[in-house]
Structure 1
Amino acid sequence: MFVVERTVKLEKGFIDIHKEKMNEYSSIFKSPGFVKREVLISTTNKEFDLIKTLVYFNDKKAYYVWEGSPEHIKMHKEKKENPVKPVGVISVERNYYEHFITNMHE
């Protein structure tokens, strides 16, 4: 599996707005090779909050299919046409991983 990790660092007080956005439907859910999306939230830091999104694809090729899809391109085109920084966002970091192993309780 191929995993895309996106970490959004937020100012305190903006987590609920972003949680609502994460609950909205995304066209990625119907992309060929999409497996699942996990959203993790951390509010333990006194200065900022974190939202970590892990998106799983069958393989790297499936991710590139999504990245090149008309839906994905349209989404980024709209962001370029309206380059307003999302409210409360301090920074965004993206990383890519090849899934190695999952251990589970038996």
Structure 2
Amino acid sequence: MYGASHVSSFDHRCLYRLKQQNATVKIGLLLNLQVVNLTGYLQMFSPFAVHSLHPHYSLVQMKEIKQWLYAGLQVYPYVVNKAAVANRMKEIGASGVIADASPRDLR
């Protein structure tokens, strides 16, 4: 049996429409910029829940990750293809990473 699936995209309107069709699907927002008011932005998905944030790894800091985790979101920075970056994301509290490399290559 496979683990839980998540759908993530830069097209957040598409994710919203997907939730309208199936509210049980877990969605993750790919982010390539810093959102000024993330709490307000996430409220636009109401009544649906956003499961996770997928910001570019260069955009995240420990303080933000802690805030997002506290808000109930998982945080999976992308695209992490170097062990040093993967280790840094782990150190600052990311839930995991999105990579193009195999886990063996990130050691």
Q: TM-score range by the shorter chain?
A: under 0.3
With normalisation by structure 1, the TM-score equals 0.22
**Which structure would you say has the larger Rg?**
1
Which structure ranks higher in relative contact order (CA pairs < 8 Å, sequence separation ≥ 6)? Answer: 1
Higher helix share: 2
Structure with greater strand percent: 1
